[in-house]
């Protein structure tokens, strides 16, 4: 029988325990075989594996490169995401990796975020559902995960020091909610603490984040590992709840000294070591049998994932699909057709096992009907660009259809810096103009990790397929989608704004002088655009198909402090396809300001032509709740909520009303509650009226809310009001509050 953790810990010296809570090298922990402690090995992901020996970005062992989160997230398909996770887990075990450093589920606060390609959505429900599916997939085969970057790591500018200044409600509803879901639903083996500070404290030494919220409230029982280099104070990190500082040894002496001098309780160190021992057990490959990944099979899965990840933004006059048969000539223009952009730059860069290009895939199917011109250079060489433009124009003029492959070159976005603009590079915008002068039959395929602006050029083209970054099999998937062998079914997980100045964080991104203020609060993404009615190019949740879907027969029913929503979706077109139905909740009565509507559920439905399916989505109280700062909890204010079912945040097809009961901690009156609030509470009203009756002259008080005087009085806090009354005894407010609390407790 394996020795208990306590036995193992008792066999380790203080120095060994300190050493275990830091890396032994760049990617793994120390081993103490005599004490029964094995090494734990980590590797980046998250959309494939990057097994390297040092900090280097290149030189990794080949692994299947699945679509990064910006792509796979757009599939809105948790089963697919789970399957990709399992494949990544199998490859991890085969490469000797215990913990895959992903998924990354930070909110896309601004389209400028340099690492948006590695993140899922502007919405926490979509991010959390993706994260949970991916974690469950990886862990289903026995490998571990690291959900990152906890928390509020929404920019690359000054990422290792900047303090995100965020109010608690915004934190809870937007920036923590995705992590909460993953922790509660998928029990990730590790969570990675971010580089940045949150309200002044480093995330990697933040007791409230790492202990109060993550462990005590959400029940996280795994290891908290630092982002690489995020620990600035070893002792403070351990105390706050961080278990493993990565990478490299360092700070061990400091930890030993702190224990010896009584500044760090040894039990804190033992607890971290215990969690690491548990992690070694949970990820022990020998318990899970041999994992033999088949590169061909995984490439096929990468292709399925890519097919579901692309989003058809626009398709005027059914410009797509292109005719697979016949003799029409197809001009493929754009360097990305030949040199695909299929993943982002930085620590997540995978060396793929193979790489499909759209040009090869199209040529394989269409043969010499395909002509190619690169159209532009990736590095913006002006002279060469002019030559390529003329060549592309000539090719377009002689073709029946043009497919333009545009997007962001590798140099435009990466981990480590944010973007400063959302336009396509100038040479590509010039190319659109030149090609549009030659023909109207232009279809654009985009390859980009961060959103690009489409408003200034989309009028020149008939269709746009947003390919994001699609991983190593993206080339094949794009060809199949363009030719109708596959039907697009991805939907936007982030809004495409008309222009950068319209974006909610515009005035507050990326901050300055070590601080970034989250001034837009909970109004992130569509929550902002839809509340203010700001025009957008393509709304959150949007995505077209080669078929059509009809929504009908909505039934909404209250279920205490939750509800159930049912509706029917039918494929009314001619080809098989899939629709992502979305449920939004809107709230006109609660006691706080709220976005016009918020996504509370979704379902992807696959339907043959003519087929239909009844969908039921159960909504718990969280779908209706807001985080009450005053009441310190999730609160549902009883009343009627509206539930909307639609194909995007701006394409609502069905609407119903539902009564939901109250839930959450009670609202307690204090000396700062207004006279109006005291009078609105039955217990408070009785006590206050009783107290006022003792005071001479108060009977003439006008407390009628229909008069200006009454409104003024009713708005005054109890303590202040009693201070205005000469006859009120000292401490009257405190006495009232005490009497109120006693009466409420006795209820």
Q: In the complex, which residues of this chain contact ligand BGC (CB under 6 A)?
A: 44, 101, 148, 227-228, 347
147 - beta bridge partners?
191
Smaller CB separation from ligand BGC, 179 or 228: 228
Nearest to 417 by CA among 449, 375, 380, 386: 449
Q: Is 227 a known active-site residue? A: yes
Smallest distance from the beta carbon of 416 to ligand BGC, in angstroms? 8
User: Which residues have CB under 8 Å from 402's CB, separation 6+?
Assistant: 330, 331, 333, 396, 435, 438, 439, 441, 442, 443
**How far, rounded to the nearest angstrom, does the alpha carbon of residue 534 sit from its chain's CA centroid?**
22
Smaller CB separation from ligand BGC, 23 or 71: 23
Smaller CB separation from ligand BGC, 89 or 541: 89
Pairing type for strands 163-165 and 190-193 reads unpaired
Smaller CB separation from ligand BGC, 227 or 598: 227
**3-state SS track over 433-478:** HHHHHHCCCEEEEEECCCCCCCCCCHHHCCEEEECCCCCCCHHHHH
Nearest to 481 by CA among 496, 457, 464: 464
Smaller CB separation from ligand BGC, 155 or 571: 155
Write out the DSSP string of 407-426: E--GGG-BTTB--S--SPPH
Smallest distance from the beta carbon of 63 to ligand BGC, in angstroms? 15
Sequence length of the chain is 747
Smallest distance from the beta carbon of 50 to ligand BGC, in angstroms? 8
Q: Is 16 helix (H, G, I), strand (E, B) or coil?
A: helix
Smallest distance from the beta carbon of 144 to ligand BGC, in angstroms? 13
**638 preceded by cis ω (within 30°)?**
no
Smaller CB separation from ligand BGC, 283 or 487: 283
C-alpha angle with apex 23: 21 to 24, nearest 5 degrees? 115
Residue 645 is encoded by which pair of tokens? 């079912």
What strands lie across the sheet with 577-587, from one edge to the other? 598-607, 577-587, 639-648, 651-660
717 - beta bridge partners?
674
Alpha-carbon gap, residue 693 to 129, rounded angstroms: 57
**Which letter does DSSP use for residue 153 in this model?**
-
Longest dimension (CA), the chain: 99
Smallest distance from the beta carbon of 197 to ligand BGC, in angstroms? 15
Smaller CB separation from ligand BGC, 44 or 453: 44
Pairing type for strands 633-635 and 626-628 reads antiparallel
**Which letter does DSSP use for residue 107 in this model?**
-
Pairing type for strands 42-44 and 99-101 reads parallel
**Which letter does DSSP use for residue 406 in this model?**
E
Smallest distance from the beta carbon of 162 to ligand BGC, in angstroms? 14
Alpha-carbon gap, residue 511 to 514, rounded angstroms: 7
Determine contact, residues 474/67, Cβ cutoff 8 Å. Answer: yes
**Which letter does DSSP use for residue 323 in this model?**
P
Smaller CB separation from ligand BGC, 172 or 197: 197
Alpha-carbon gap, residue 314 to 443, rounded angstroms: 9
Determine contact, residues 244/230, Cβ cutoff 8 Å. Answer: no
Smallest distance from the beta carbon of 612 to ligand BGC, in angstroms? 43
Alpha-carbon gap, residue 17 to 269, rounded angstroms: 7
Smallest distance from the beta carbon of 137 to ligand BGC, in angstroms? 18
Smallest distance from the beta carbon of 491 to ligand BGC, in angstroms? 26
Smallest distance from the beta carbon of 73 to ligand BGC, in angstroms? 17
C-alpha angle with apex 574: 570 to 576, nearest 5 degrees? 65
Smaller CB separation from ligand BGC, 375 or 510: 510
Determine contact, residues 371/332, Cβ cutoff 8 Å. Answer: yes
150 - beta bridge partners?
193
Alpha-carbon gap, residue 595 to 597, rounded angstroms: 5
Smaller CB separation from ligand BGC, 204 or 619: 204
Smaller CB separation from ligand BGC, 204 or 465: 204
C-alpha separations of 718 from 668, 685, 695, 707, 721 in Å: 13, 12, 15, 19, 5
Residue 308 is encoded by which pair of tokens? 């579901």
Alpha-carbon gap, residue 322 to 483, rounded angstroms: 5
Alpha-carbon gap, residue 309 to 449, rounded angstroms: 12
Smallest distance from the beta carbon of 666 to ligand BGC, in angstroms? 42
User: Which residues have CB under 8 Å from 109's CB, separation 6+?
Assistant: 122, 154, 155, 505, 509, 518, 524
Specify the residue for token string 């702190």: 258
User: Which residues have CB under 8 Å from 492's CB, separation 6+?
Assistant: 74, 311, 313, 466, 538, 539, 540, 541, 542, 543, 648
User: Which residues have CB under 8 Å from 82's CB, separation 6+?
Assistant: 133, 134, 136, 137, 140
Smallest distance from the beta carbon of 222 to ligand BGC, in angstroms? 16
Smaller CB separation from ligand BGC, 44 or 335: 44
Nearest to 601 by CA among 129, 22, 116, 157: 129
**Catalytic annotation, pick one of 44, 98, 158, 227:** 227
Smaller CB separation from ligand BGC, 101 or 256: 101
Smallest distance from the beta carbon of 191 to ligand BGC, in angstroms? 12
Active site members: 227
């Amino acid at each position: 029988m394996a020795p208990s953790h306590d036995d193992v810990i008792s066999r380790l010296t203080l120095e060994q325990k300190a050493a275990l809570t830091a890396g032994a090298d760049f990617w793994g922990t120390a081993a103490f075989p005599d004490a029964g402690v094995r090494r734990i090995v980590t590797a980046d992901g998250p959309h494939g594996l990057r097994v390297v020996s040092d900090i280097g970005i290149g030189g990794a062992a080949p692994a299947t490169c699945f679509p990064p989160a910006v792509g796979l997230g757009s599939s809105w398909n948790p089963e697919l995401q789970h399957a990709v996770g399992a494949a990544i887990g199998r490859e991890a075990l085969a490469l000797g990796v215990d913990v895959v450093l992903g998924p990354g589920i930070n909110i896309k606060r601004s389209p400028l975020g340099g690492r948006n390609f590695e993140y899922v959505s502007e919405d926490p429900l979509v991010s959390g559902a993706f994260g949970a599916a991916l974690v469950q997939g990886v862990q289903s085969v026995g490998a571990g995960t690291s959900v990152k970057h906890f928390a509020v790591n929404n920019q690359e500018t000054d990422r290792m020091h900047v303090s995100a200044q965020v109010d608690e409600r915004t934190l809870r509803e937007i920036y923590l909610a995705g992590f909460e879901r993953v922790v509660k639903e998928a029990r990730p083996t590790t969570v990675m603490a971010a580089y940045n500070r949150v309200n002044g404290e480093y995330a990697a030494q933040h007791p409230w984040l790492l202990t109060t919220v993550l462990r005590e409230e959400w029940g996280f029982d795994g290891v908290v590992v630092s982002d690489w280099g995020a620990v600035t104070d070893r002792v403070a990190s351990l105390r706050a709840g961080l278990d493993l500082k990565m990478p490299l040894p360092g700070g061990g002496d400091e930890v030993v000294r702190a224990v010896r001098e009584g500044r760090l309780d040894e039990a804190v160190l033992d607890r971290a070591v215990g969690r690491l021992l548990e992690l070694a057990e949970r990820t022990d490959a020998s318990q899970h049998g041999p994992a033999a990944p088949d590169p061909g099979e995984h490439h096929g899965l990468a292709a399925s994932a890519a097919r579901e990840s692309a989003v058809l933004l626009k398709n005027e006059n059914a410009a797509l699909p292109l005719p697979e048969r016949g003799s029409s000539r197809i001009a493929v223009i754009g360097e990305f057709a030949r040199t695909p952009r299929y993943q982002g730059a930085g620590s997540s860069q995978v060396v793929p096992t193979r790489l499909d290009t759209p040009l090869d895939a199209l040529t394989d199917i269409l043969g010499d009907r395909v002509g190619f011109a690169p159209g532009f250079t990736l590095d913006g060489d002006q002279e060469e660009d002019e030559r390529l433009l003329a060549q592309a124009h000539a090719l377009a003029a002689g073709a029946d259809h043009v497919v333009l492959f545009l997007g962001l070159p590798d140099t435009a976005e990466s981990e480590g810096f944010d973007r400063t603009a959302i336009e396509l590079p100038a040479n590509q915008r010039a190319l659109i103009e030149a090609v549009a002068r030659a023909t109207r039959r232009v279809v654009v395929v985009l390859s980009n990790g961060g959103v690009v602006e489409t408003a200034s050029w989309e009028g020149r083209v008939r269709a746009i397929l947003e390919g994001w970054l699609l991983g190593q099999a993206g080339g094949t998937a794009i060809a199949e989608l363009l030719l109708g062998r596959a039907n697009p079914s991805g939907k936007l997980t982030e809004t495409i704004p008309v222009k950068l100045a319209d974006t909610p964080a515009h005035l507050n991104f990326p901050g300055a002088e070590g601080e970034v203020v989250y001034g837009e609060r909970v109004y992130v993404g569509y929550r902002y655009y839809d509340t203010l009615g700001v025009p957008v190019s393509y709304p959150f949740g949007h995505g077209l198909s080669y078929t059509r879907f009809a929504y009908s027969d909505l039934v909404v029913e209250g279920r205490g402090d939750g509800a159930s929503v049912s509706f029917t979706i039918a494929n009314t077109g001619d080809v098989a396809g899939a629709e992502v139905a979305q449920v939004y909740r809107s709230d006109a009565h609660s006691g706080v300001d709220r976005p016009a509507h918020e996504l509370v559920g979704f379902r992807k439905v696959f339907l043959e032509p003519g087929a239909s399916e009844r969908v039921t989505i159960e909504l718990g109280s969280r779908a209706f709740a807001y985080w009450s700062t005053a009441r310190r909890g999730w609160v549902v204010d009883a009343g009627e909520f509206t539930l909307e079912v639609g194909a995007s945040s701006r394409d609502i097809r069905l609407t119903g009303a539902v009564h939901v009961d109250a839930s959450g901690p009670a609202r307690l009156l204090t000396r700062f509650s207004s006279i109006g609030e005291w009078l609105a509470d039955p217990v408070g009203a009785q006590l206050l009226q009783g107290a006022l009756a003792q005071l001479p002259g108060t009977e003439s008080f006008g407390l009628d809310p229909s008069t200006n005087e009454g409104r003024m009085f009713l708005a005054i806090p109890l303590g202040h009001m009693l201070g205005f009354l000469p006859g009120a005894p000292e401490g009257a407010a405190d006495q009232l509050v005490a009497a109120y609390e006693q009466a409420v407790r006795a209820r």
